[in-house]
């Protein structure tokens, strides 16, 4: 850009303070550090409260960036004495109109209010009522299924068992094995300090079979299969497949919810047994490496260290956890609105609530069966 085209600002003191803008007030020239610094110094030297006449008739070019610079120097208000070319006046008219249409700043207030609490309680109440209604509909559908088993959705149940149970064997095996190794390794270090190496079987067996196995499998299934169920139902809502089912006289509960609940109630106990076995295998491997306990000794002591009642408690947890995960996933899936934003929010809420409900149910199991499964 030639020197004569660079933006400049000249201040002339007289009876009236006159500020003259010359050159090309465009982004190319204003981006130059030397020009920008000189213009800022000139604008900062203008006295406040004194009438100023602005002469913009000598501008050779002007764009929105240059007009915004001048508008900021005017403190976002058009000066009373302004000489500007007609082709340049349109920039300031647009900026002025945009300022008039600006949204008001949100009023600052306390983060907590009675209305916010009431809104939150209404949402929680709606979820509770909807969840209870879903359970009631499931009971009716199970009764219908028991009366006419040949008309039941066997294909849907089989398909969900395959996707939820069989396809989850890999991830549960990897995580279960690593958890068993870590738990055995850390426990072995502490027990070896006090000479209690033989009690590693007791600690590992009870913790895995009674607590970690069912809880770990449930959390993995909630994150993997629970989110998938919610997303499937949500997509069906977005594509209006759920509405089409109602038009054809097909019940959502009998064809969508009940098969998924039954599939998870059947798959979860099997996944619990699988996770327990793999976690104990990892713990047995770490025990042999860390303490030198042979696998034969580990397997021979395990039935005595872990009473059989703990296995039944773990299987019961699997049935309850699987049913709760399926119900929570279906509940949030059916409440998704026909838009992509609601689909993402519903899937996230489904996973978080499912994991929370599983942990709460595990706490209830611990309280109810606190005296069962111990010698």
Q: Is 274 found in the same domain as 175?
A: yes
Query: Are both 315 and 241 inside the same structural domain?
Result: yes
CA atoms within 13 A on the CB side of 346: 27
Instruction: Give CB contacts under 8 A, 24+ apart, made by 346-352.
Output: 346/230, 346/234, 347/227, 347/230, 347/231, 347/234, 350/226, 350/227, 350/229, 350/230, 351/222, 351/223, 351/226, 351/227, 351/230
Q: Give Cα 226 distance to the centre of its chain.
A: 14
Band (pLDDT 50/70/90 cuts) for residue 52 is confident
The answer to whether the CB of 264 falls within 8 A of the CB of 221 is yes
Among candidate residues 44, 69, 100, the one where a domain is terminated: 100
**75 and 183 co-located in one domain:** no
CATH number of 24's domain:
3.30.750.24
- Distance, in Å, from the CA atom of 226 to the CA atom of 267, rounded to the nearest integer, reads 13
Is the domain of 163 the same as that of 240? yes
Which of 52, 69, 100 is the last residue before a domain boundary? 100
Give the distance, in angstroms, between the CA of residue 122 and the centroid of all CA atoms in the same chain. Answer: 22
- Same domain (yes/no): 81, 138: no
- Answer whether residue 110 is part of any domain: no
Q: Domain check: are 10 and 127 in the same one?
A: no
Pairing outcome for strands 52-55 and 81-83: parallel
* pLDDT digit string, tens, across residues 74-95: 878 888 888 888 888 888 888 8
Q: Please report whether residue 106 resides in a domain.
A: no
Helix (H, G, I), strand (E, B) or coil at 16: coil
- For 121-162, how does the pLDDT look when each residue is reduced to its tens digit (9 = 90+)? 888 888 899 899 999 999 999 999 999 998 889 999 999 999
Assigned domain for 105 exists: no
Q: Is residue 157 part of a domain?
A: yes
Strands 8-12 and 17-25: antiparallel
225 shares its domain with 159: yes
For the residues 225-236, what does the mean pLDDT come to?
92
Q: How far is the C-alpha of 319 from the C-alpha of 263, rounded, in Å?
A: 10
- Cβ–Cβ under 8 Å, residues 11 and 22: no
Length of the chain: 375
Residue 154 domain flag? yes
CA triplet 238, 240, 246: central angle to 5 degrees? 140
Cα separation, 142 vs 259, in Å, equals: 10
Provide the pLDDT for residue 155: 92
User: For residue 2, what pLDDT is reported?
Assistant: 47
User: Which residues constitute the domain of residue 260?
Assistant: 115-368
3-state secondary structure of 271: helix
Interval 341-352: pLDDT, tens: 888 899 999 999
Give the distance, in angstroms, between the CA of residue 239 and the centroid of all CA atoms in the same chain. Answer: 23
Q: What is the pLDDT of residues 162-191, one digit of tens each?
A: 999 999 999 999 999 999 999 988 888 888
Confidence at residue 1, expressed as pLDDT on a 0 to 100 scale: 46
CB 51 within 8 A of CB 80: yes
pLDDT of 250 above 90: no
Collapsing DSSP to helix, strand or coil, 106 comes out as coil
* Boundary (domain end) residue, out of 100, 126, 157: 100
The mean per-residue pLDDT over the stretch 224-253 comes to: 88
Calpha distance 361→215 (Å, rounded): 10
pLDDT value at position 134? 92
pLDDT (0 to 100) of residue 108: 55
Q: Are 212 and 310 in contact (CB under 8 A)?
A: no
In a domain, 17, yes or no: yes
Same domain membership, residue 127 and residue 48: no
* C-beta separation of 350 from 230 below 8 A: yes
> Rounded to an integer, what distance in angstroms lies between the CA atom of residue 341 and that of residue 359?
28
Taking 80 as the threshold, does the pLDDT of residue 16 lie above it? Answer: no
Output 5 or 337, whichever has higher pLDDT.
337
Buried b (16+ CB within 10 A) or exposed e, 3-18: eeebbbbeeeeeeebb
Regarding whether 346 and 227 lie in a shared domain, the answer is yes
DSSP string for residues in 201-217: HHHHHHIIIIIIHHHHH
Structural domains in the chain (count): 2
- Average predicted confidence (pLDDT) for the chain: 86
Nearest to 237 by CA among 340, 324, 157, 160: 340
In a shared domain, residues 209 and 241: yes
Does the CA dihedral 290-292-294-299 come out positive or negative? negative
Whether the CB-CB separation of 290 and 350 falls below 8 Å is answered with: no
Q: What gap in Å lies between CA 214 and CA 74, rounded to an integer?
A: 69
Domain contains 375: no
Q: Is the pTM of this model over 0.85?
A: no
Same domain membership, residue 181 and residue 78: no
CA separation for the pair 221, 123 (Å, rounded): 26
Question: Do 228 and 171 contact (CB within 8 A), yes or no?
Answer: no
CA distances from 182 to 4, 148, 188, 279, 293 (A): 74, 49, 10, 10, 16
Q: Are residues 144 and 262 in the same domain?
A: yes
Q: How many CA atoms lie within 13 A of 315 on its CB side?
A: 8
Least confident range of 104-113, 164-173, 193-202, 293-302: 104-113
């Amino acid at each position: 850009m030639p020197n004569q085209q660079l933006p400049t600002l000249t201040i002339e003191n007289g009876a009236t303070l006159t500020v003259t803008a010359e050159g090309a007030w465009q982004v190319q020239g204003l981006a130059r550090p030397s020009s920008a610094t000189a213009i800022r110094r000139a604008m900062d030297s203008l006295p406040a409260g004194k009438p100023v006449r602005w002469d913009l008739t000598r501008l050779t070019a002007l764009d929105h960036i240059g007009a915004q610079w001048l508008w900021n120097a005017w403190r976002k208000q058009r000066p009373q004495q302004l000489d500007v070319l007609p082709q340049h006046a349109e920039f300031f008219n647009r900026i002025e109109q945009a300022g008039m249409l600006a949204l008001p700043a949100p009023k600052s207030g306390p983060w907590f209010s009675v209305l916010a609490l009431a809104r939150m309680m209404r949402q929680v109440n709606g979820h509770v009522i909807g969840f209870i209604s879903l359970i009631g509909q499931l009971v009716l559908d199970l009764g219908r299924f028991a009366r006419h088993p040949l008309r039941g959705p066997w294909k849907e149940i089989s398909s969900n068992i395959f996707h939820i149970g069989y396809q989850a064997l890999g991830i549960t095996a990897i995580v279960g094995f690593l958890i068993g190794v870590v738990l055995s390794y850390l426990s072995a270090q502490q027990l070896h300090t006090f000479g209690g190496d033989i009690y590693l079987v007791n600690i590992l067996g009870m913790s895995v079979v009674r607590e970690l196995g069912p809880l770990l499998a449930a959390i993995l299934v909630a994150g993997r299969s629970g989110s998938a169920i919610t997303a499937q139902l949500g997509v069906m809502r977005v594509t209006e497949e759920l509405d089409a089912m109602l038009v054809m006289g097909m019940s959502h509960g009998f064809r969508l919810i009940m098969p998924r609940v039954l599939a998870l109630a059947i798959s979860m106990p099997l996944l619990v047994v699988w996770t327990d076995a793999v976690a104990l295998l990892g713990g047995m491997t770490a025990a042999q490496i860390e303490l030198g306990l042979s696998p034969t000794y580990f397997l021979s002591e395990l039935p005595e260290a872990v009473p059989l009642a703990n296995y039944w408690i773990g299987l019961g947890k699997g049935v309850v956890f699987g049913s709760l995960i399926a119900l929570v996933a279906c509940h949030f899936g059916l409440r998704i609105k026909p838009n992509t934003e609601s689909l993402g929010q519903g899937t996230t809420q489904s996973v978080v609530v499912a994991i929370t409900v599983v942990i709460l149910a595990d706490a209830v199991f611990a309280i109810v069966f606190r005296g069962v499964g111990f010698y």
